[in-house]
Copies of this chain bind each other. A is one copy, B any other.
């Protein structure tokens, strides 16, 4: 049995820049330059160094480098729920872009727990991360509020904007997306369209509801407040909202839901009541999360360009780290209408 892992302590000392310098017969400064600024070094020297690097297997010690340069080439990702499907796909985009530029990703799962948010701040304040991607929709607890004039580190909000803090945001155009969704329903002939929102993430909800209202007004349809319900964004709350509609007297012909999870709940409620979908009721979601195509009927929804959101956010953050002024404080990407089978013309309702 080879006990490969049993000794956690690095045994064979790693080669340092000094070993390389000795082998190449130059000073450590020259080695450093040969590696980092090759043009500043004579060709012959550069070759000698390159060979010594290869023979020693030298890798520059990231800790020493970071200590000296005061930057770690790490980005901290702060998210309330790492398991959220919406998160993980954006993460792929973030990672792609970051690793392309030599940055690493450090992930922090806060579960909306203030103490965990504070906890992760140490990565920032100890220089272990140069910048921050925020999924949480608010500044980490312990920032800004306590010390009056704390400088905020470079950061970009994603998924949900941070209100009142002048923090660059990259995300989907929620207003426009919801308007397109509602217009799709209207184009199918629906006039009585419900909106099931969720107050949990206020800003997203506000924008999507605004898009819904804009579409209806644009089509000359009066807003019926009885058709606007509020949930918390979960499947269960969608189900409950649909049930509530039946208890009241006012029924819609179509449900526009603030997100796919809610839409799923609505579908479950309608299926349970033995309605035939989409003939009797149309349902639309927003997000296009993975199960959207597997529900029955498969869900017509607005697709968030998650990969591109991640890439764009990271690109923006890295540009900020490089000292560039971002062109705009908000990058909005268009949501794409995905037509599946949960929407049709209003027909034999009841």
A residues neighboring B (CB under 8 Å): 1-2, 4-12, 14, 57, 59-64, 66-67, 70, 72, 74, 81-85, 87-89, 91-92, 95-96, 99, 104-109, 116, 119, 122-123, 125-128, 130-131, 147, 151-155, 165-168, 264, 290-291, 294-296, 320-323, 325
Sorted from nearest, which 4 A-B pairs have the closest CB atoms? A291-B291, A62-B126, A296-B296, A63-B67
Q: Contact check, A61 vs B127: say whether CB atoms are below 8 A apart.
A: yes
Instruction: Give every chain B residue within 8 A of A62 (Cβ-Cβ).
Output: 122-123, 126-128
11 new A-B pairs (CB below 8 Å) besides A62-B127, A105-B106, A295-B295? A6-B325, A7-B151, A8-B320, A9-B323, A82-B91, A82-B92, A92-B109, A99-B108, A99-B109, A291-B294, A295-B296
Chain B residues with Cβ below 8 Å from A64 are: 67
Q: Which of B4, B8, B104, B125 has a CB less than 8 Å from the CB of A14?
A: B125
From B59, B66, B82, B147, A63 is in contact (CB under 8 Å) with B66
- Whole-angstrom distance between the Cβ of A139 and the nearest chain B Cβ: 11
Chain B residues near A5 (CB, 8 Å)? 152-155, 167-168, 320
A61 touches B107 (CB 8 A): no
Q: Which of A72, A96, A108, A109 has the most chain B CB atoms closer than 10 A to its own CB?
A: A109
A70 to chain B, nearest CB (A): 6
Q: Are A126 and B59 in contact (CB under 8 A)?
A: yes
Quick one: which of A10, A60, A104 has the most chain B CB within 10 A?
A104
- Which B residues touch A61, using CB under 8 A? 67, 126-127
Closest B residue to A116 using CB positions: B99
A–B complex contacts, Cβ < 8 Å, 18 sampled: A4-B167, A5-B153, A6-B320, A8-B321, A61-B127, A63-B67, A63-B127, A74-B106, A81-B92, A82-B91, A82-B92, A95-B107, A96-B109, A104-B123, A290-B290, A291-B291, A294-B294, A296-B296
Question: Pick the contact of A290 from B11, B85, B325 — CB < 8 Å?
Answer: B85
A278-B72 Cα distance, complex, nearest whole Å: 56
Residues in B neighbouring A1, C-beta threshold 8 A: 166
- B residues in contact with A325, CB < 8 Å: 6
Q: Is the CB of A126 within 8 A of B60?
A: yes
Give the complex CA separation of A7 and B95 in angstroms. 24
Query: Complex formed: what's the CA distance from A67 to B1 in Å?
Result: 32
Complex CA gap A85/B82 in Å reads 10
Residues of chain B within 8 A of A74, CB atoms compared:
106
Chain B residues near A154: list those with CB within 8 A.
5, 8
Contact check, A8 vs B126: say whether CB atoms are below 8 A apart.
Answer: no
The one of B81, B88, B119 in contact with A99, judged by C-beta atoms closer than 8 angstroms, is: B119
- Bound Cα distance from A99 to B113, whole angstroms: 13
Q: Which residues in B have their C-beta under 8 angstroms from that of A264?
A: 294
Task: Evaluate contact between A109 and B95: CB separation under 8 angstroms.
Answer: yes
> Cα distance A60–B122 when bound, in Å?
9
